[in-house]
């Protein structure tokens, strides 16, 4: 199972939000590069980097942090937040991201998303599906929709999507356990998709539950920063 630690960025600092709420922010480190290098030194291979400023502003803002981490580590970086235009996406890849996470555009402008998928290929693009009660949320979780996650994934799988990061925003940053039942349903419905679990991981037991349902990848954030999970345990 692949463990992908998360760094969320506001004002170029490593932070975490509770349930995507910008008013419930905790700053953990003013130097995200330092955090990334620590992950790498412990044997982590991949990093989940989210531009929360970008998600709110609807354009990429923290590309300099991405550049720093890409230049000073060998980590593979999946980067999301604020990618709304061709220029944003090109900037993210030029700044060193291995993969781009696309959420809002895939919901609001699927034609553009499918163009990117075709241009860059399904290994470079991760579909970001943020979910609350099995419905999609967009724009850094500031809006919820009436679109079912199952209908959404079916449409996107038919267009060639291979990687999906699915975050249950009711769980995210709450350290209350992960949405095992949701991931189980999604994996049964879409056995060919690589579904990356995200949100709510609070303990090694949560990770073991995901492993038990054969989930291949999980993003872990707040549990690491709060010391609920030690990276040495993960390794």
pLDDT tens, position by position, 152-204: 999 999 999 999 999 888 765 555 678 899 999 999 999 999 999 998 898 99
Query: Tokens in use for 85?
Result: 């235009």
| pLDDT at residue 139 greater than cutoff 70 | no
| pLDDT at residue 207 greater than cutoff 80 | yes
Its domain, for residue 61, covers: 2-234
130 as an active site residue: the answer is: yes
168 as an active site residue: the answer is: no
How far is C-alpha 206 from the geometric centre of its chain's CA atoms? 17
d(CA 219, CA 29): 19
CATH number of the CATH domain containing 67: 3.20.20.70
Number of domains in the chain: 1
pTM of the predicted protein model: 0.92
Instruction: Check 8, 53, 168, 172 and give the catalytic one.
Output: 8
Question: Contact at 8 Å (CB) between 1 and 198?
Answer: no
81-98: average pLDDT: 97
Q: What is the pLDDT of residues 54-73, one digit of tens each?
A: 988 999 999 999 999 999 99
78-93: average pLDDT: 97
Average model confidence (pLDDT) across the chain: 90
Query: Nearest Cα to 183, choosing from 216, 161, 141?
Result: 216
Cα distances from 140 to residues 54, 109, 143, 159, in angstroms, run 9, 16, 8, 24
Beta-carbon-side half-sphere exposure of residue 129 (alpha carbons within 13 Å) = 29
Instruction: Check 130, 168, 172, 206 and give the catalytic one.
Output: 130
């Amino acid at each position: 199972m692949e463990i992908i630690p998360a760094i969320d960025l506001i004002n170029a600092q490593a932070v975490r939000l509770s349930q995507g709420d910008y008013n419930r922010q905790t700053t953990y480190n003013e130097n995200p590069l330092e955090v990334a290098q620590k992950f790498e030194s412990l044997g982590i291979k991949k990093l989940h980097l989210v531009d929360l400023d970008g998600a709110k502003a609807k354009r990429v803002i923290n590309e300099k942090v991405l550049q720093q981490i890409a230049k000073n580590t060998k980590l593979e970086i999946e980067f999301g937040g604020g990618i709304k235009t061709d220029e944003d996406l090109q900037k993210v890849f030029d700044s060193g991201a291995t993969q781009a996470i696309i959420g809002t555009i895939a919901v609001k402008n699927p034609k553009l998303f499918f163009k990117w998928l075709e241009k860059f290929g399904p290994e470079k693009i991760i579909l970001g599906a943020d979910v609350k009660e099995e419905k999609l949320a967009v724009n850094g979780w500031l809006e919820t929709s009436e679109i079912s996650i199952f209908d959404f994934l079916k449409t996107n799988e038919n267009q060639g999507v291979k990687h999906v990061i699915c975050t249950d925003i009711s769980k995210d940053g709450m350290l209350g356990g992960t949405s095992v039942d949701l991931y189980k349903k999604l994996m049964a419905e879409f056995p060919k998709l690589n579904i990356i679990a995200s949100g709510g991981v609070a303990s090694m037991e949560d990770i073991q539950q995901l492993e038990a349902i054969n989930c291949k990848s999980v993003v872990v954030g707040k549990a690491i920063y709060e010391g609920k999970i030690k990276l040495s345990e993960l390794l």
